[in-house]
Amino acid sequence: MPGARGLRDGASARATPRARGFPDGAVARGAEEVGSLVDAAGTMAEVRSRREGTPEAGATEAAGGFTTWTLTTLALGTVVGGSFFLGSAIAIRAAGPASLVAFLLGGALVYIILSALSEMTVADPTPGAFRTYAERAYGPWAGFVVGWVYWTGLALAMSSEATAVAVLLRGWVPWLGQPALATLIVLAVTGVNLLGTGLLARLEAGLAGVKVLAILAFIGLGLAVIAGWVAGRPALGLGALAGAPLLPHGIGGLLGSMLIVMFSYAGFEIIGLAAPQARDPHRTVPRAILWTTLGLAGLYTAAVAVLLHLVPTESLTPEVSPLVAGLRAGGLGWAAGAVGAVLVVAILSTMLAALFGLGQMVRSLAEEGHGPAWLREESDYPRRGILLSAGAMLAGVSLSYLLPRQVYLFLVSSGGFSLLFVYAVILATHLRHRRTVGCPPRGRCQLPGYPYTTWAALVAVVAILLGMPLVPGQGAGLAAGLLLVALYGLVYRVGAWRGRGGAGAEAD
């Protein structure tokens, strides 16, 4: 999800507007919106009783809502984006043929993280998902920091994607300035989200279908080249794999590639955020998680396996999609031209689903006292949260043209950290959740091998986080992410201190 542009920036000093830092964007007003934060004690119980006492509390589930299929397409729409279509070139070049192992390991991590999230989501489908579960496990400060770090990082990433799409579309509408085009893209994505889950689910299913079909088409065409079914071309056989070293850059290359691989899978947590709008979450959420994991791992590994036959990994660059490079090497340049259009669709689809997730996060934060009261929703759909997040994305688009480049890239590089940070929090929360609560109410434990699988995944995610400086351009992401965590931790402490001071004054 994050980052076609940032992934390319880390690998090339000759950064073009599309190749700038890990996804562009910034949330200039985020701190101002959070500045009014107060103590959250007692708020959750009050809000929960208010929501459960209204007819709307279960209306979405009874009347309709997301099905297993729409949850799966929503997740695929969020995940399959520029990071795979463009950024995966960095991971494949770093790991060589072993990149196939990296994508399989990434799929295994996704399965463990999603299964852990599923157990908590099925037990209590709540708008805040992992943020709310972290708060219950570790206290209000954890819920506050996790929620706002995730919101800020994802808003940064999506403002970047809007700018990236504007660059791609500029050739089609040269009479429209790039800032204006990026603004129109954000407004269009916001408008679609405000129309409700029905249209969003249908549109996301269509866009996700385009991306999945594009990858399937690449696999089919690549196999035809390998088998010699293309007229005028002999069978390729092993092709570029013949004589290629398994680990051209050693084990360090494989470890470094895992960061980019996880970015390619990033965004699957949208299933947890969308769970309150699901129809029968006890049944649909676990199924959607299984379908999503199998679908992503299957598509990615199959596409990479075909690509390894078509083109030497050392020839891949972050300036050209590896799928385009593979098709051109196979003599199918006519098909390579379609990938540019698919990349636009991929980024727009990611923005649509991610903006919904941002709205859900804002709604959850506001309802538990971690944000301004005016952000609390009266309905089941997070329209106010979507509007605030869209405003942050527009601010990020503006800052991409106003801030000095290095300052801007430092800010937006926190997007990758925020996602990996959330995955570590999900796993740490699951460890405590299973000890204190056990399995979901119906005894359906989705994650096999607990606690060993949870611990193994947690160690792996933390190792990937600490390994960010090993990937060119991503060391700043670790620094910016840690700065965000410290900033929001300080904001929470100040808000809690002011709340206690106000309560003491009233008592006097």
Q: For residue range 70-79, list pLDDT tens digits in order.
A: 888 878 777 8
Distance of CA 325 to the CA centre of its chain: 25
CA distance 134 to 110: 19
Burial of 396 (0-12, 13-18, 19+ CB in 10 A): buried
300 φ, ψ to 5°?
Answer: -65, -50
Tens-place pLDDT, residues 434-473: 888 877 666 567 788 889 999 999 999 999 888 888 776 6
- What angle do helix axes 281-310 and 250-265 make, rounded to 10 degrees? 140
Q: When comparing pLDDT for 234 and 263, which is higher?
A: 263
Q: Which of 63, 27, 394, 383 is nearest to 193 (CA)?
A: 383
Can you give the CATH number for the domain in which 50 is found? 1.20.1740.10
Residue 42, Cβ density class (10 Å: 0-12 exposed, 13-18 middle, ≥19 buried)? exposed
CA proximity to 104, closest of 313, 346, 312, 305 = 305
What is the number of domains present in the chain? 1
Query: Of the ranges 46-60, 233-247, 267-281, 342-356, which one carries the lowest mean pLDDT score?
Result: 46-60
* Domain that residue 242 falls in: 4-507
Q: At what angle do helices 281-310 and 88-95 cross, to 10 degrees?
A: 60
Buried residues in 397-411 as b, exposed as e (16+ CB within 10 A): bbbbeebeeeebbbb
Predicted confidence (pLDDT) per residue in 121-179, tens digit? 877 777 667 888 999 889 999 999 999 998 998 888 888 778 778 877 877 888 888 88
Which amino acid is residue 481, in one-letter code? G
- Residue type (1 letter), 41: A
- pTM for the full predicted model: 0.76
